[in-house]
Structure 1
């Protein structure tokens, strides 16, 4: 039975992925931002273990984990959590830059660093759920796109550094996906939200599973997923 640690397992792509892994008999460890959210996720994902760590405060993750039991084996670490706040460069305050960089970039780097010893022993797989914004930046998307461009750089560097240890690294770049975060984006854009126009979270989860389940003689390094309509 494989063990998968997933951030963002309480909603959207991460939640769908966690359920599919549990349904096939794998062990899932979900990361929650606080104790209250941990109880909610545990109720929503029966059979999953939940640990607590606030991604908006990456510098405190080490302390938080020192108070909890972490798995002795991790076959995949999936970074699916993220936040987005749109705004032009001339209008976006430093606090929103800091929040998006912390959750979307610094926390994945720190979480990966803390779990690398286990990932090396397990010859595990690190999956970064990036975004189309990680490949190009449009007006109003500067902070979010910067965090996602940085996430691609993190993945590329990690892949080069850890291949000798048998750790595989994949970046997934989904286009607009029908998640609560996408609904929030549309609200910020002042646009009508129509989930039927976008990729389903299940389709993105399928691409993640494809990467994770690929035989070890090959690796998907970067995978772009776009709406088919």
Structure 2
């Protein structure tokens, strides 16, 4: 029988309809996780759910939600309930302009989805995660480690995620909860479709999914608090 690192574990994954989110959903499905997948696009979620069932997930629940809305967050928490083992905060969005060209209203949306939403979800599920000695995966970005010209709002949200994730680990590890932040560079996805970085040199979503599986390969004595994944094109 194939190794199943997440057998019978209940996982909530946001931003699961595409890119990194769908890749994580698929690799977790292969490892036996029961999945709650969340995104705004219900049709795409249905496709991801079907694939995850084919790959071995015993149960996949679709939750269509706009996570920038407080009522939707509460509804997600109610649908998942108190039996959560793993929370993956993946949903996010990028900026479309720098400080001089950008729209402050858009900046607020970026900070809300990229930072405030994960904070709120963590708060809502912290009691369940502590009672079950669960795990939190936060998908950040290298933009949370250093400045990127023209991406100030995005960097601000991801720097906030860095501080949030590392502090959550300090607060929750005494309760048996692990927290990992993953910092990808350019990943091939809809979000990076207009990036100047060559698409044929971008990280694949499946690479980040492997990083999201790493914590479950380790013993309870170790936690990879920060995983940085850089772009690298190696000779074949």
When the two structures are superposed, what TM-score results if normalisation uses the length of structure 1?
Answer: 0.89
| Aligned counterparts of 1:171 and 1:196: Cα–Cα separation in 2 | 25
Aligned residue among 5, 8, 16 for 1:9: 16
Aligned residue among 25, 28, 36 for 1:29: 36
The reply to whether residue 96 of structure 1 matches residue 103 of structure 2 is no
Determine the structure 2 residue equivalent to 1:131. Answer: 141
Shift of 1:71: 4.1
Aligned residue among 167, 171, 178 for 2:188: 178
**Is the Cα–Cα contact under 8 Å of residues 5 and 76 in structure 1 kept in the other structure?**
yes
Question: Gaps spanning 5+ residues in structure 2: where?
Answer: 1-7, 54-59
Determine the structure 2 residue equivalent to 1:18. Answer: 25
Question: Gaps spanning 5+ residues in structure 1: where?
Answer: none
User: What pairs with 1:133-152 in structure 2 (closer than 5 Å)?
Assistant: 133-152=143-162
Aligned residue among 199, 202, 205 for 2:203: 199
| Aligned counterparts of 1:78 and 1:160: Cα–Cα separation in 2 | 18
Determine the structure 2 residue equivalent to 1:40. Answer: 44
SS for the counterpart of 1:95 is: helix
Determine the structure 2 residue equivalent to 1:64. Answer: 75
Aligned residue among 58, 62, 73 for 1:50: 62
Shift of 1:72: 3.5
SS for the counterpart of 2:102 is: coil
| Aligned counterparts of 2:150 and 2:19: Cα–Cα separation in 1 | 23
When the two structures are superposed, what TM-score results if normalisation uses the length of structure 2?
Answer: 0.86
Q: Count residues in correspondence.
A: 218
The reply to whether residue 74 of structure 1 matches residue 84 of structure 2 is yes
Deviations 1:173-205 (A, max 9, x none): 111111111114x2xxxx4x6432111111111
RMSD: 1.7
Deviations 1:86-133 (A, max 9, x none): 322122121111010010000000011111111111111111111010
